[in-house]
């Protein structure tokens, strides 16, 4: 398979008054051509910081890449100069942000904002850029694009604004699209529309997408592969089916268990106790150990390596070690997976 | 669950004037009851008026029309100080944003004890302290936290403080306006578990306002679905999810992403088109099957009913 982007042992830190916050602590992943990789995790798990590092958008000088490499198209972009990076950013790798209101300029017409990238990166003339912008607005299904181009962002609804942002991101046919919680600020019905739109566009223009979210439902909808992040590390990665139907890491169990199913009538949700660790002084051993009811003694001493479950499925938990006691996922998570198996049979028959 | 009505909302209207000829009908003729000891969920998209409803019920707005009865007494209208005090003790609110709903310049002790002080629920400083400590423990914090300021807490902990503050005056009815939307998934489950536990222990009644339908389904006994200031469907939580009738409810349910990849691949989204309704007749809220209400016209009512019978016989 074609690897478009590869991240190796990425460490990102921030200097603050109280010390160095190690937001990302050794992340490895890759992105294949035409696929969607979802990165899930709680706030503070380092998922946004990882993608900001990819785009060279870390706030300087207190945010910096401490270690590791980001290979895009056989070049390491993590050590590139800003000037060279500008040629890639927006053109080869584009980004969609969470809040469409703050990522659009309120004083510029929407059309101007979509045309900006075309004129800058593609060297288009104004008339060409205008036509292309209309084409893009059609692609993201904004009705009546000629008139809408002349309007300002405040005249658009939340869902329509996000479509504008997607149109801007797609302007230069990027090979990688990074979407940082693009649907979190939207209503469920609008969210469903935007997700359908993104899948549709991906089919048409064949970009790879890195999709950041904390919503596992959204992940199941859009992703081909999933990486679960916790405290600056990827703790489990695999195809969607592997991670949802055969989760191995207790943190993944916790995430799945803390969402109620529509069928469930359980008295209590399987909540993960406590709060995420302080990344100024990350705990010794497994960062999740303190909140993990299945933690082994070794979890507090040594960090688990990535254990292989299948060729595509890996998880960083000592439970997968051959000497570890056999521990089954908690009952509520098992029931959830079993109930999903029924849906599998139903769709097959 | 008893059938005693704790809150009765009757034809509640909340209109906001925006300039001379522009009126926003945020809530437009809402009627429903909340029974003692139940959790009533209110769902809908942003802007549908669900938060406004909650705020009108607790008197944060003066309603344009209609009335809200709490244990038979009208909530709205003029009240003197002592009446207001009595009312305020019975009804409390938990807000969405745990960052902006706690005064950053007050200690946790003072935030939680504010209601205790106003209502004179503690005889002396000793008792006040003891009450705050007890409340902190009830919501899963400890007494060392009492001397701290809100910024020293995480989002989930702050929401616990908000709950402790609401509980301080021993209310019977709590309006929770999107209490978990600002929290992380794993923390959401903690707060929801806590709210359920407290309800069991203290016999609380909740109005739970949210847009996260799976969580609402989980916590609520009955659910009302709002669309543009009106209730379009009202039923028991189980019934609403198994047997949604109004096309808007169906579209809303079909849009929830579930953590199940195979289901998601085969999902059929239903799109709601408001123009599908017959506009020649003003729709009314009608009971289709026992305790299941839908906003519909006479014709739609007949059609829905027939559909119902078909699903039952099949």
% of residues, chain B, pLDDT over 90: 46
Q: How far apart are CA B180 and CA B58, in angstroms?
A: 20
Mean pLDDT, chain A, whole residue set: 88
**Residue of chain A whose Cα is closest to the Cα of B46:** A187
Lowest model confidence (mean pLDDT) among A29-43, A158-172, A321-335, B159-173? A321-335
Q: Is the pLDDT of residue A343 over 60?
A: no
Measured at the CA of A145, the angle between CA A128 and CA A209, to 5 degrees, comes to 80
Q: How far apart are CA B229 and CA B89, in angstroms?
A: 28
pLDDT of residue A345: 46
Q: Is the pLDDT of residue B72 over 80?
A: yes
Chain A residues whose beta carbon lies within 8 Å of the beta carbon of residue B190: 271-273
Domain with CATH 3.40.50.300 in chain A: 3-223
pLDDT of residue A308: 94
Q: Is the pLDDT of residue A171 over 80?
A: yes
pLDDT of residue B110: 94
**The residue to which tokens 């929290």 are assigned:** B183
CB contact under 8 A, A275 and B256: no
Q: How far apart are CA A130 and CA A114, in angstroms?
A: 9
Chain A residues whose beta carbon lies within 8 Å of the beta carbon of residue B274: none
Q: Is the pLDDT of residue B24 over 90?
A: no
Mean predicted confidence (pLDDT) in B206-215:
88
Q: Is the pLDDT of residue A260 over 90?
A: no
Query: In terms of Cα–Cα distance, which of A75, A242, A105 is closest to A165?
Result: A105
Structural domain spans, chain B: 5-99+172-243, 245-314
pLDDT of residue A310: 94
Q: Is the pLDDT of residue B79 over 50?
A: yes
Chain centroid to Cα A22, Å, comes to 19
CB contact under 8 A, A196 and B269: yes
Choose which CATH entry (2.130.10.30, 3.40.50.300, 3.90.1150.10, 3.20.20.30) describes domain B5-99+172-243.
3.40.50.300
pLDDT digit string, tens, across residues A40-58: 988 888 898 999 999 888 9
Q: Is the pLDDT of residue A267 over 80?
A: no
**The residue to which tokens 């982007």 are assigned:** A5
Residue B314 banded pLDDT, cuts 50, 70, 90? low
Mean predicted confidence (pLDDT) in B18-24:
84
**Residue of chain B whose Cα is closest to the Cα of A345:** B262
Residue A344 banded pLDDT, cuts 50, 70, 90? very low
Longest dimension (CA), chain A: 68
Q: Is the pLDDT of residue A263 over 80?
A: no
pLDDT digit string, tens, across residues A202-231: 998 889 999 999 889 999 999 999 999 999
CB contact under 8 A, B257 and A264: no
CB contact under 8 A, A244 and B264: no
Backbone angles phi, psi at A32, to 5 degrees: -85, 165
Question: Comparing A337 with A300, which gets the higher pLDDT?
Answer: A300
pLDDT of residue A314: 95
Out of A192, A241, A269, closest to residue B193 by CB:
A269
Lowest model confidence (mean pLDDT) among A102-116, B151-165, B265-279? B265-279
Query: In terms of Cα–Cα distance, which of A172, A9, A218 is closest to B214?
Result: A218
| Angstroms from A139 CA to nearest CA on chain B | 20
pLDDT of residue A347: 45
Backbone angles phi, psi at B238, to 5 degrees: -60, -50
CB B283 within 8 A of CB B303: no
Considering the domain A3-223 in this protein, what is its CATH number? 3.40.50.300
Out of A241, A244, A258, closest to residue B189 by CB:
A258
Residue B126 banded pLDDT, cuts 50, 70, 90? very high
Out of A189, A217, A340, closest to residue B251 by CB:
A189
CB contact under 8 A, A260 and B45: no
| Angstroms from A304 CA to nearest CA on chain B | 22
Decide: helix, strand or coil at residue A3. Answer: strand
Out of A241, A272, A275, closest to residue B261 by CB:
A241
Buried b (16+ CB within 10 A) or exposed e, B230-261: bbbbbbbbbbbbebbbbbbbebbbbbbbbbbb
Q: How far apart are CA B126 and CA B117, in angstroms?
A: 13
Q: Bridge partners of A225?
A: A37, A239
- Give the DSSP H/E element, type plus range, for residue A333: helix A331-348
Instruction: Give me the DSSP letters along A8-29.
Output: EEEEEEEEETTEEEEEEEEEEE
**Residue of chain B whose Cα is closest to the Cα of A252:** B186
Chain centroid to Cα B159, Å, comes to 16
Out of A260, A271, A347, closest to residue B218 by CB:
A260
Q: Is the pLDDT of residue B207 over 80?
A: yes
CB contact under 8 A, B259 and A42: no
The tokens describing A304, both together, are 């688990």
The tokens describing B122, both together, are 């503690």
Q: How far apart are CA B210 and CA A300, in angstroms?
A: 39
CA separation (Å) from B234 to A131, A204, B47, B267? 48, 42, 19, 25
Q: How far apart are CA B92 and CA A197, in angstroms?
A: 42
CB contact under 8 A, B264 and A256: no
Residue B20 CB partners (closer than 8 Å, separation 6+): none
pLDDT of residue B312: 62
CB contact under 8 A, A272 and B186: yes
User: How many residue pairs bridge chain A and chain B with CB atoms within 8 Å of each other?
Assistant: 116
Query: In terms of Cα–Cα distance, which of B110, B104, B106 is closest to B151?
Result: B104
Helix (H), strand (E), coil (C) string for chain B = CCCCEEEEEEEEEEEEECCCCCEEEEEEEEEEEEECCCEEEEECCCCCCHHHHHHHHCCCCCCCEEEEEECCEECCCCCCHHHHHHHHHHEEEECCCCCCCCCCCCCHHHHHHHHHHHCCCCCCHHHHHHHHHHHHHHCCCCHHHHHCCHHHCCHHHHHHHHHHHHHCCCCCEEEEECCCCCCCHHHHHHHHHHHHHHHHHHCCEEEEEECCHHHHHHHCCEEEEEECCEEEEEEEHHHHHHCCCCHHHHHHHHCCCCCCHHHHHCCCCCCCCHHHCCCCCCCEEEEEECCEEEEECHHHHHHHHHHHHHHHHC
CB contact under 8 A, B260 and A42: no
Longest dimension (CA), chain B: 67
- Give the DSSP H/E element, type plus range, for residue A155: none
Instruction: Give me the DSSP letters along A68-93.
Output: EEEEETTEEGGG--HHHHHHHBTTTE
Q: Is the pLDDT of residue A1 over 70?
A: no
Out of B156, B211, B241, closest to residue A188 by CB:
B211
The one-character DSSP state at A50 is H
Suggest the residue from A18, A100, A192 to mutate for an interface test with chain B (most B CBs closer than 10 A).
Answer: A192
CB contact under 8 A, B187 and A219: no
State how beta strands B39-43 and B65-70 pair: unpaired
pLDDT of residue A346: 46
Task: Kindly report the number of other CB atoms within 10 A of residue A62's CB atom.
Answer: 13
Query: In terms of Cα–Cα distance, which of B27, B85, B43, B65 is closest to B229?
Result: B27
Out of B154, B189, B267, closest to residue A269 by CB:
B189
% of residues, chain B, pLDDT over 70: 98
Q: How far apart are CA A197 and CA A222, in angstroms?
A: 11
Suggest the residue from A187, A190, A215, A279 to mutate for an interface test with chain B (most B CBs closer than 10 A).
Answer: A187
CB A153 within 8 A of CB A101: yes
CB contact under 8 A, B257 and A275: no
Sign of the CA dihedral with B236 first, then B213, A44, and A12 last: positive
State how beta strands A36-40 and B292-296 pair: unpaired
Suggest the residue from A188, A279, A290 to mutate for an interface test with chain B (most B CBs closer than 10 A).
Answer: A188
CB contact under 8 A, A340 and B264: no
Q: How far apart are CA B270 and CA B249, in angstroms?
A: 10
Residue B209 CB partners (closer than 8 Å, separation 6+): B41, B42, B43, B50, B51, B53, B54, B175, B176, B177, B178
CB contact under 8 A, A256 and B259: yes
Report the complex ipTM: 0.79
CB contact under 8 A, B261 and A220: yes
Residue B54 CB partners (closer than 8 Å, separation 6+): B42, B93, B175, B177, B207, B209
Decide: helix, strand or coil at residue A158. Answer: helix
**Residue of chain A whose Cα is closest to the Cα of B248:** A189
Q: How far apart are CA A107 and CA B172, in angstroms?
A: 49
Q: Is the pLDDT of residue A149 over 80?
A: yes
Mean pLDDT, chain B, whole residue set: 89
Q: Is the pLDDT of residue B42 over 90?
A: yes
List the strands of the sheet with A176-180, edge to edge. A93-96, A176-180, A208-213, A36-40, A225-230, A233-239, A314-315, A307-308
Measured CB to CB, residues of chain A less than 8 Å from chain B are 42-43, 158, 187-192, 195-196, 214-221, 240-241, 244-245, 254-262, 264, 267-273, 275, 340, 343-344, 347
Suggest the residue from A228, A239, A259, A293 to mutate for an interface test with chain B (most B CBs closer than 10 A).
Answer: A259
CB contact under 8 A, A275 and B189: no
pLDDT digit string, tens, across residues A90-106: 889 999 988 877 889 99
CB contact under 8 A, A217 and B241: no
């Amino acid at each position: 398979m074609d690897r478009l982007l590869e991240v190796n042992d990425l460490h990102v830190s921030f200097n603050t008054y109280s010390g160095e916050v190690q937001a990302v602590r050794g992340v490895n992943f890759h992105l294949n051509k035409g696929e969607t990789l979802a990165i899930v995790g709680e706030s503070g798990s380092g998922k946004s910081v990882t993608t900001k590092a990819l785009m060279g958008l870390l706030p300087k000088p207190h945010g910096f890449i401490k270690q590791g490499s980001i290979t895009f198209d056989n070049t390491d972009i993590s050590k590139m100069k800003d000037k060279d990076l500008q040629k890639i950013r927006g053109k080869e790798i584009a980004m969609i942000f969470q809040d469409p209101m703050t990522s659009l300029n309120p004083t510029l017409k929407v059309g101007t904002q979509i045309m900006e990238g075309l004129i800058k990166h593609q060297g288009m003339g104004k008339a060409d850029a205008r036509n292309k912008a209309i084409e893009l607005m059609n692609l993201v299904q904004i009705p009546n694009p000629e008139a809408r181009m002349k309007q300002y962002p405040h005249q658009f609804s939340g869902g329509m604004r996000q479509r504008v942002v997607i149109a801007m991101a797609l302007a230069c046919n990027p090979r990688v699209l990074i979407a940082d919680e693009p649907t979190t600020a939207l209503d469920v019905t609008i969210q469903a529309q935007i997700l359908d739109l993104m899948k549709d566009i991906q089919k048409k223009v064949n970009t790879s997408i890195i999709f950041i979210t904390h919503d596992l439902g959204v992940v199941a909808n859009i992703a081909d592969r999933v990486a679960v992040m916790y405290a600056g590390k990827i703790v489990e990665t695999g195809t969607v089916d592997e991670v949802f139907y055969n989760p191995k890491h207790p943190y993944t169990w916790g995430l799945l268990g803390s969402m109620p199913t529509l069928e469930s009538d359980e008295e209590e949700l399987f909540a993960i106790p406590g709060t995420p660790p302080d990344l100024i002084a990350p705990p010794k051993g497994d960062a999740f150990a303190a909140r993990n009811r299945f933690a082994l003694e070794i979890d507090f001493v040594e960090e688990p390596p990535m254990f292989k479950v299948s060729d595509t499925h890996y998880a960083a938990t000592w439970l997968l070690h051959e000497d570890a006691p056999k521990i089954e996922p908690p009952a509520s998570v098992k029931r959830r997976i079993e109930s999903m198996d029924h849906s599998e049979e139903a769709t097959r028959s | 669950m008893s059938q005693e009505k704790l809150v009765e909302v009757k034809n509640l209207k909340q209109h906001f004037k925006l300039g001379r000829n522009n009126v926003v009908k945020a809530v437009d003729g809402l009627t429903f009851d909340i029974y003692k000891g139940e959790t009533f969920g209110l769902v809908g998209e942003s802007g549908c008026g669900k938060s406004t409803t909650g705020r009108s019920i607790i008197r944060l707005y003066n309603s344009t029309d209609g009335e809200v009865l709490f244990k038979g007494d009208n909530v709205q209208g003029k009240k003197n100080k002592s009446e207001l005090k009595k009312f305020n003790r019975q009804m409390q609110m938990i807000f969405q944003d745990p960052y902006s709903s706690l005064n950053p310049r007050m200690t946790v002790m003072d935030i939680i004890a504010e209601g205790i002080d106003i209502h004179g629920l503690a005889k002396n400083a000793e008792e006040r302290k003891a009450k705050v400590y007890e409340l902190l423990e009830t919501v899963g914090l400890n007494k060392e936290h009492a001397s701290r300021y809100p910024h020293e807490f995480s989002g989930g902990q702050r929401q616990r403080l908000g709950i402790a503050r609401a509980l301080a005056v021993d209310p019977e009815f709590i309006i929770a306006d999107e209490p978990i939307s600002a929290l992380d998934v794993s923390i959401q489950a903690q707060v929801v578990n806590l709210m359920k536990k407290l309800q069991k222990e203290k016999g609380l009644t909740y109005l739970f306002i949210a847009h996260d339908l799976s969580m609402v389904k989980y916590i609520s006994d009955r659910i009302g679905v709002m669309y543009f200031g009106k209730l379009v469907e009202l039923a028991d939580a189980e019934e609403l999810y198994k047997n949604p009738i109004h096309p808007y409810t169906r579209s809303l349910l079909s849009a929830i992403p579930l953590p199940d990849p195979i289901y998601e691949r085969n999902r059929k989204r239903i799109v709601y088109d408001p123009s599908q309704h017959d506009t020649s007749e003003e729709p009314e809220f009608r009971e289709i099957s026992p305790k299941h209400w839908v906003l519909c016209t006479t014709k739609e009512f007949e059609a829905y009913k027939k559909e119902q019978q078909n699903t039952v016989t099949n």
